[in-house]
């Protein structure tokens, strides 16, 4: 659902799942909103229940498209689990998250708050 926001923003709310099954429709709708609007495009994720890597790719692709057109994609009401994923993948440093700062989002993962530039530890690879 799209509705006008304040201050030259357009708001698009996603609900349900953003995954491989819904990615094509979501991508088309988001790209249309970016292409035919002005100002920030706010993506309200309050009702988003699940997502996968494909869905995250849709968000990143929309972010890049908006940037090329001089616009900004802003994520609003990001579910806690998705916040953790954004921190783990360091995408919280690239994406605009309303009401969030890199420090506050880093607090989403235990042990990362207050450590500048901290991120998850790389996996430990052992050989048999």
Q: Where are the domains of the chain?
A: 2-106
Q: Per-residue pLDDT for 57 more than 90?
A: yes
Topology given in CATH for the domain delimited by 2-106: Transcription Regulator spoIIAA (3.30.750)
Two tokens at 67?
Answer: 């940037």
Pairing of strands 10-18, 73-76: unpaired
Higher pLDDT, 43 or 4: 43
Give yes or no for residue 11 having a pLDDT over 80: yes
Whole-prediction pTM: 0.74
The mean pLDDT of the chain is 81
Please give the pLDDT value at position 115.
36
Specify the pLDDT at position 9: 82
Residue 9's Cβ-count burial label (10 Å; 0-12, 13-18, 19+) is middle
- The pLDDT value given to residue 74: 97
Most distant CA pair in the chain: distance in Å? Answer: 59
């Amino acid at each position: 659902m799209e509705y006008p926001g304040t201050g030259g923003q357009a708001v698009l709310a996603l609900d349900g799942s953003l995954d491989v099954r819904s990615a094509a429709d979501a991508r088309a709708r988001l790209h249309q909103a970016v292409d035919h609007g002005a100002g920030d495009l706010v993506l309200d994720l309050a009702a988003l229940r699940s997502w996968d890597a494909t869905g995250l790719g849709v968000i990143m692709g929309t972010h890049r498209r908006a940037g090329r057109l001089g616009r900004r994609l802003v994520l609003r009401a990001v579910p806690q689990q998705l916040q953790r994923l954004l921190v783990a993948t360091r995408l919280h440093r690239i994406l605009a998250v309303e009401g969030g700062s890199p420090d506050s989002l880093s607090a989403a993962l235990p042990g990362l708050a207050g450590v500048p530039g901290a991120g998850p530890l790389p996996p430990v690879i052992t050989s048999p």
